[in-house]
């Protein structure tokens, strides 16, 4: 395996999530993004995680992020966002095995 092969195999690809009758895309966190989120979470144990995860993951079909930060997703529908957030947790290996769907 070459360096290029490893990069191609590990490159994050957007994942489609159907919410109602709309398909949105979420991008798995990079290694740096996952570590940055973990550090932020450790320093903010009582803060909500949905808005930061949505802002860091909602993207177009090419993987370009759609939002600059959590404040830009604050007014999205909470119930619909839960399904998207659960997908983000799943694709990043961050959801507890016994967590509800």
57 pLDDT above the threshold of 90: yes
pTM as predicted: 0.81
Domain boundaries, the chain: 14-92
Mean pLDDT of 42-71: 93
Average pLDDT of the residues of the chain: 89
Residue 5 or 69, more confident: 69
Strand order across the 22-26 sheet:
15-19, 22-26, 58-59
18 pLDDT above the threshold of 90: yes
12 pLDDT above the threshold of 90: no
Crossing angle, helix 50-57 and helix 31-43, to 10 degrees?
160
Mean pLDDT of 56-62: 95
């Amino acid at each position: 395996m070459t360096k290029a092969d490893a990069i191609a195999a590990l490159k994050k690809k957007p994942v489609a999530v159907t919410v109602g009758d709309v398909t949105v895309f979420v991008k798995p966190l990079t290694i740096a993004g996952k570590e940055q989120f973990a550090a932020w979470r450790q320093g903010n144990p009582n803060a909500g995680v949905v808005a930061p995860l949505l802002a860091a993951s909602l993207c177009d079909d090419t993987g370009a992020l759609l939002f600059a930060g959590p404040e830009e997703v604050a007014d999205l529908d909470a119930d619909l966002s839960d399904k998207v957030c659960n997908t983000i947790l799943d694709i990043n290996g961050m959801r507890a095995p016994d967590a509800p769907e």
